[in-house]
Amino acid sequence: MWTLNKNGVTPSLALTPVEQKNLNEFMSLVNAGNAPSIAANGWKSEYKKLGGTVNQFEIRLSLSNRATFIVDDKNSIVTMIAVGGHV
């Protein structure tokens, strides 16, 4: 059962309604127990592991904004790192 740790992260800039909807959907689905790869399937999120990092992933909220997070497979926890812009 997956859980989400928002880690006090807030968007680095104002999100559009669509970006906020995508972020809320992702977080809600993870909190409902879904793996992050499944939670990101509702739109063209381009869920991907960032190169050179340990279990750091990102999803597209739109063409210009992303959300990045750490995936702890052992404990089934997604920890948000940043929302908005590019990492």
Q: Residue 56 corresponds to which tokens in the numbers above?
A: 């750091």
Instruction: Look over the chain and give the mean of its residue pLDDT values, rounded to a whole number.
Output: 93
Could you give all domains of the chain from N- to C-terminal order, each with its CATH number?
Answer: 3-83 (3.30.2310.20)
Q: Does residue 8 contact residue 29 with C-beta atoms inside 8 Å?
A: no
In whole angstroms, give the CA distance from residue 2 to residue 73: 9
pLDDT higher at 23 or 7: 23
Q: What is the pLDDT of residues 22-49, one digit of tens each?
A: 999 999 999 999 999 999 998 899 999 9
Sheet strand arrangement including 3-5: 3-5, 77-83, 66-72, 56-60, 48-49
pLDDT of res. 21: 96
pLDDT of res. 51: 85
pLDDT of res. 86: 65
pLDDT of res. 12: 84
Indicate the pTM of the whole model. 0.91
User: Rounded to whole angstroms, what are the CA distances from 50 to 18, 20, 21?
Assistant: 24, 22, 23
Residue 87 pLDDT > 70, yes or no?
no
Q: Does residue 78 contact residue 4 with C-beta atoms inside 8 Å?
A: yes
